[in-house]
């Protein structure tokens, strides 16, 4: 079945450091790929997405490129801030019509220190 | 973005009792809502897909009679954990699909259930 593997956390960085959170997936066909962020005490929010190979999703300084050849969708940010501290989830979605199920990775806790 | 609420945000109950959790889409109509369960340091596990006006579709291994789902309106889905046991203690999260926003799923803040 479909699955998503993302790097184990927790990740602790200093403010302005470079961030990479690795994500790889296993799926048949051509899934859409997503990064969600969960801030403390809040629900998951869509951070960015890509729907086909070589697409780059970007938002709030975060970027991720859909790499079909390596089945990866790594999340990057050039300079993190304390406010980026949260749990980050990589996810994939296949199908259309009534099938809009998301498959999530385990999540990576990021803590950014001032 | 669209807003999804859950109520209650946390609940403690005795073993053997039933607990109802509500999921509401506040500013859009959702024909499809999803219920997830999240264990500590683990991923969100999809339990079931809730469709307005019809029966829910449960994922393999999820007991239909244990986790009752009702989606009676376009803005409300409920999950009832029947005859709860300590192993049902978990974080339950719902999401609602907004067809007006490219089918994006908007997530509620979750409900922490503790069964004593």
> A43–B93: do the CB atoms touch at under 8 Å?
yes
pLDDT of res. B54: 86
pLDDT of res. B53: 85
Beta-carbon contacts of B18 under 8 Å, excluding residues fewer than 6 positions away, are B80, B81, B82, B83, B84
Phi (first) and psi of residue B37, to 5 degrees:
-125, 135
Q: Does B104 touch chain A (CB under 8 A)?
A: yes
8 Å CB contact between B43 and B27 = no
Among partner residues B43, B49, B107, which is closest to A107 by beta-carbon distance?
B43
What would the pLDDT profile of A26-43 be if each residue is shown by its tens digit?
Answer: 998 889 999 999 998 788
pLDDT of res. A101: 84
Q: H-helix or E-strand containing B14? A: none
- pLDDT tier for residue B85 given thresholds of 50, 70 and 90: very high
Task: Look at the alpha carbons of B45, A27, A31, A80 in this order and tell me if their dihedral is positive or negative.
Answer: positive
B109 contact residues in A (CB cutoff 8 A): 41-43
The end-to-end CA distance of chain B, in Å, is 37
Residue ranges for chain A with pLDDT beneath 70: 95-99
How close is the nearest chain A Cα to the Cα of B9, in Å?
10
What is the share, in percent, of chain B residues with pLDDT greater than 90?
76
> B107–A43: do the CB atoms touch at under 8 Å?
yes
What would the pLDDT profile of A51-65 be if each residue is shown by its tens digit?
Answer: 999 999 999 999 999
How close is the nearest chain B Cα to the Cα of A76, in Å?
21
Length of chain A: 114
Query: Counting Cβ atoms within 10 Å, is residue A50 exposed (0-12), middle (13-18) or buried (19+)?
Result: buried
**Structure tokens, A77:** 């940010």
Q: How far apart are CA B74 and CA B53, in angstroms?
A: 9
pLDDT of res. A97: 56
């Amino acid at each position: 079945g479909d699955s998503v593997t993302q790097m184990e956390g927790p990740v602790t960085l200093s403010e302005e450091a470079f961030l990479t959170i690795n994500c790889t997936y296993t799926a048949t066909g051509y899934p859409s790929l997503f990064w969600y962020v969960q801030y403390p005490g809040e629900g998951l929010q869509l951070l960015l997405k890509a729907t086909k190979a070589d697409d780059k999703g970007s938002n709030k300084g975060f970027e991720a490129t859909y790499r079909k050849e390596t089945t990866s969708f790594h999340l990057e940010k050039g300079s993190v801030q304390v406010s980026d501290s949260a749990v980050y989830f990589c996810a994939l979605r296949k199908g259309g019509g009534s099938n809009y199920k998301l498959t999530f990775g385990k999540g990576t806790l990021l803590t950014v220190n001032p | 973005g669209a807003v999804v609420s859950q109520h209650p945000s946390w609940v403690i109950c005795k073993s053997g009792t039933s607990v109802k959790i509500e999921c509401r889409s506040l500013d859009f109509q959702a024909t499809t809502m999803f219920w997830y369960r999240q264990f500590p340091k683990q991923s969100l596990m999809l339990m079931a897909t809730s469709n307005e006006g019809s029966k829910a579709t449960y994922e393999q291994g999820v007991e239909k009679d244990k986790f009752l789902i009702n989606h009676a309106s376009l803005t409300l889905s409920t999950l009832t954990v029947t005859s709860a046991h300590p192993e049902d203690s978990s974080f339950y999260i719902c999401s609602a699909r907004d067809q007006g926003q490219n089918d994006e799923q908007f997530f509620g803040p979750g409900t922490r259930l503790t069964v004593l």
